[in-house]
Chains A and B, each alone.
Chain A
Amino acid sequence: MLAHDLLDAWAHLRSPVHRLDARVKLVCACALVIALLATPVARPGLLAAWAALLLAIAGASQLPARWIAGRLALLAPFLLLGTIALPLLPPADAADARQVLGLIVSAQAALLWLNVGGKCLLALLAATLLTGTTASAELLRAAGALGLPRTLTALTGFALTYLGVLGAEGGRMIVARRARGRVRGLGRNLRVAASMAATLMARTVERGERVALAMVARGYRGRMPALDAGPAPAGQIVLGAAFVAACAALLWAGVRA
């Protein structure tokens, strides 16, 4: 359930974004995130432009808005904590001080926080759109074809495969704990959570050993099979190159403005 919700839940749709080659999508997403992170703090307008671009892609992807919002809501505690901490920072000088809702906040720190929070949210939106429109196996194949070391793609593949298995095992442990009675208090809850995590790790080692023996028994010879796919369609390569160039041009124009 966990893995299905995080991965591949909507990868079966047939939107124009879904139909793009995974390699093209991966390169475009990386370019967009790099451009996003390179956006200077003093350019909130450029951040709005990236947001508009991502929202347009989200619209074209036909992914359910509620699912996307649910994924973005994972950042809510971080954004909330950062916002609460903002008035605790003293302004650098009198010119930097601003009064907001009766509180004195540093204008520079507020701008930086807006920038950091916005970038985090937009980067997560980009990752959500990429993983929501591409099957995880396709993404791994694309990463391998783009030159990511085979060890990294193999480790990622294992992690994605067993995310659901371990999540389900953790879920069963939580159900068993609840069935044994309610635990009150944060301290006791943490103690139970720590012992569950330790048990889960010990079971994971056992599972890892069994998986390794099963791999060798099924013919693994020290190398994961190559995940190369055929060449991407020329039209899509041109589209991807145009998108990357547009990102670079928008960043350049935004910084120069």
Chain B
Amino acid sequence: MSAEPADGRTIAQEVAWARELSLGGLFIALGIIIPIGFHALGGGRLGPVFLPMYLPVLVCAMLVSPGTAAAVGLLTPVLSSALTGMPPVLPALPLMAAELAAMGAVASVLHRRLGLPALLATPLTLVVGRAVLGLAVALAVNLLPAELPPPMRSPALYLIGATVTALPGLALQMLAVPAVAALAERDRAGVASGNSDAGT
């Protein structure tokens, strides 16, 4: 068997790309399932507090390339909204899609391209995510009618409110993402070295 099959890709590259797709797809599915569990537990109140959709997207970003991570960040809220209604199509879906796509790409660049440890890459990614959320809200506010009460027209107020509400979730991401990513990378090394039986 040739080590360099069709269109110049090596077998290692094929395995790597297959791994990107399978991991990306599986983590999108997790990004739909985990929030359902949180909503079942807290009746919709726990989502904005614990940000359960962010967890699989960030962990996935630590394991795949920036392009795939951005696609996972974009598709997870879109598919979840289409299948479960959460996040609602307005106003949360466009804001979350922009934030998660940016966070996915940034986390992957920081951890996989620049070699930053997940413990450092995660808080930096969360800061970038909040900045992107602020920009998206500032853009969205321009579409609102001018007669609305001032609190509804202030992107800064929205961003502060959303960030304060999500403080437990942001802390959870900072603790959980590096731990799960380390666990996943250890398991991945185990599977790659043939410790698990192949199959689906």
A197 x B183 contact (CB < 8 A): no
Contacts of B32 in A (CB 8 A): 159, 163
With A72-B85, A210-B199, A212-B15 in contact, do A116 and B21 touch (Cβ < 8 Å)?
A: no
Contact of B17 among A71, A74, A108, A222 (CB under 8 A): A222
Contact of B75 among A96, A159, A161 (CB under 8 A): A159
> Residue on A with the closest CB to B147?
A108
Contacts of B68 in A (CB 8 A): 151, 155
Chain A: interface size category: 35 or more
A197 x B34 contact (CB < 8 A): yes
CB distance from A8 to the nearest CB of B (A): 12
Contacts of A119 in B (CB 8 A): 89-90
> Residue on B with the closest CB to A213?
B198
B30 x A201 contact (CB < 8 A): yes
B33-59 residues with Cβ-Cβ distance < 8 A to A are 33-34, 36-39, 41-46, 50, 52, 55-56, 59
A106 x B149 contact (CB < 8 A): yes
With A6-B84, A116-B90, A209-B196 in contact, do A201 and B11 touch (Cβ < 8 Å)?
A: no
CB distance from A235 to the nearest CB of B (A): 28
A159–B75 Cα gap in the complex (Å)?
A: 10
B59 x A216 contact (CB < 8 A): no
CB distance from B167 to the nearest CB of A (A): 15
What 0/1 pattern do residues 143 to 177 of A give for CB contact below 8 A with B? 00000000110111111111101110010000000
B59 x A151 contact (CB < 8 A): no
CB distance from B21 to the nearest CB of A (A): 5
Contacts of A71 in B (CB 8 A): 85
Contacts of B55 in A (CB 8 A): 197, 201
A202 x B180 contact (CB < 8 A): yes
> Residue on B with the closest CB to A198?
B180
With A2-B33, A204-B27, A208-B23 in contact, do A124 and B89 touch (Cβ < 8 Å)?
A: yes
Contact of B91 among A42, A116, A152 (CB under 8 A): A116
A77–B197 Cα gap in the complex (Å)?
A: 43
A41–B146 Cα gap in the complex (Å)?
A: 11
A200-222 residues with Cβ-Cβ distance < 8 A to B are 200-202, 204-217, 220-222
A131 x B172 contact (CB < 8 A): no
A206–B200 Cα gap in the complex (Å)?
A: 10
Contacts of B36 in A (CB 8 A): 2
Contact of A224 among B21, B45, B52, B59 (CB under 8 A): B21
A71–B86 Cα gap in the complex (Å)?
A: 11
**Listed stretches A16-24, A53-61, A188-196, A239-247; interface member:** A188-196
A206 x B191 contact (CB < 8 A): yes
A212 x B29 contact (CB < 8 A): no
A212 x B89 contact (CB < 8 A): no
